[in-house]
Amino acid sequence: MIGTNSLLCELELLQLIDDVFAKLGLNVVVLINNRKILSGIAEVFNESEKIIDITVAIDKLDKIGPEKVAEEMRTKGVSEKAIDGLKPLLVFEGSDQDKIDLLRTY
């Protein structure tokens, strides 16, 4: 990985991790996240200055659920408009096409 800026290296790491778990016979789901995407989402809702508060709350989604994430953002001063706009992204369900269609509405 040293000496390259290519994101393909990151993809290769994910493939390696997936291969290792598969060979071990472990059914594992690898989740990835991208701060640039989260920053862009915050920007869409004019909440760029709250990006840390938003991402910290979203990181807890699996543990506390979408309503508690919304509550936490509310206590950190994130606007109701942003929270309402983020809610569909917190319960991102449906087919891949459904998800793409939802993202295009932003």
Instruction: Provide the phi-psi class of 49: left if phi over 0, else alpha when psi is between -120 and 50, else beta.
Output: alpha
The three-point CA angle 58-96-64 to 5° equals: 20
Q: What is the mean pLDDT of residues 59-79?
A: 94
19 and 43 inside one domain: no
Total-model pTM: 0.68
50 and 62 inside one domain: yes
Which residue type does 83 have? I
Residues 6 or more apart whose CB falls under 8 angstroms from that of 99 comprise 92
pLDDT band at 1 (very low <50, low <70, confident <90, very high): low
Per-residue pLDDT tens over the stretch 7-60: 788 888 889 999 999 999 999 988 777 788 888 889 989 999 999 999 999 989
The answer to whether residue 70 scores a pLDDT higher than 90 is yes
Q: What is the mean pLDDT of residues 83-105?
A: 85
Domains in the chain, number: 2
The answer to whether residue 73 scores a pLDDT higher than 80 is yes
Residue 94 belongs to what domain range? 34-104
87 and 98 inside one domain: yes
25 and 44 inside one domain: no
47 and 24 inside one domain: no
28 and 16 inside one domain: yes
Tokens of 99: 């998800």
